[in-house]
Amino acid sequence: MSELYLLIAVTLAAGLAMPAGAILAVATKASSKQTFRHTMVAFGGGALLSAVAMVLVPDGSAHLSIVSVCVLLGLGGYAFLMLDRWLAAKNTPASQLAAMLSDFVPESIALGAAFAIGNDTAFLLAFLIALQNLPEGFNAYLEMAESSVGRAKKTIAVFALMALLGPISGGIGYVWLAEEPEFLGGVMMFAAGGILYSVFQDIAPNVPLERHWRPPMGAVFGFMLGVAGSMWVATA
């Protein structure tokens, strides 16, 4: 299998974690199990933070100045803020869905470029993308289901179609951006800023649950798996 075919397979697999998360939500009927739902929310937050800390910031800042890093992080956060406000104004029950796509696309672009230059973190990034897409698909499905937006099979099918954005974005990074490290670094820092905004705006506030202590441990385990993946790549 050529490197490009491998990239397509890996990005598609990472994207399919989104409908897998939705299927998990249906299978567990988690809307009535608040502890499990809050744990999944926290797990997704931990996985997102690990992607920022382990891959996006270290790799993205390698070819950028301090000023550029700060500006791009701020712009990423502000872009997600504006997206949040727009969705709220439209009363659209899809903030989790928008956040899921907003980090999946730039991360897939970065993954494609990482494959092209033979970066050791390529498979780690793919693992982290899948790790965060699973709980994001879970939470996005429940958010849409609670607002009576579409039926289960239709929503899962839409999530599966969105997984195709992974190979498309990865191909863009592989073909056109591998030789543009500054631009690629900018994409990664922008995505990191947006992810940080989402974690503290949409995810962390939804984790607490009175007299339940398991949900915060979901964040610990999500981050832990990211760190373990990073260490495994470093020693492989």
Distance CA 186, CA 10 (A): 23
Please report which confidence band the pLDDT of residue 221 belongs to, taking 50, 70 and 90 as the band edges.
Answer: low
Average pLDDT, the chain: 75
Q: What is the pLDDT of residue 45?
A: 75
Residue 199 and residue 132 in contact, taking contact as beta carbons nearer than 8 Å: no
* DSSP code, position 154: H
Q: Which residues contact 175 (CB under 8 A, 6 or more apart)?
A: 112, 116
**Global confidence as pTM:** 0.73
Provide the angle, in degrees to the nearest 10, between the axes of the packed helices 95-116 and 34-51.
Answer: 30
At 235, the pLDDT band (50, 70, 90 cuts) reads low
Q: What does the pLDDT read at residue 168?
A: 92
217 and 39 Cβ atoms separated by less than 8 Å: yes
pLDDT value for 134: 85
- Residues spanned by the domain of 118: 3-235
Q: How many domains does the chain have?
A: 1
**pLDDT at residue 208 tops 60:** no
4-27: per-residue pLDDT in tens? 888 889 899 989 998 998 888 887
CA distances from 114 to 53, 174, 185, 202, 231 (A): 17, 8, 11, 29, 18
Tell me the three state secondary structure of residue 94: coil
Number of other CB atoms surrounding residue 93 within 10 Å: 16
Reference 11, options 99, 98, 97, 109; nearest CA is: 109
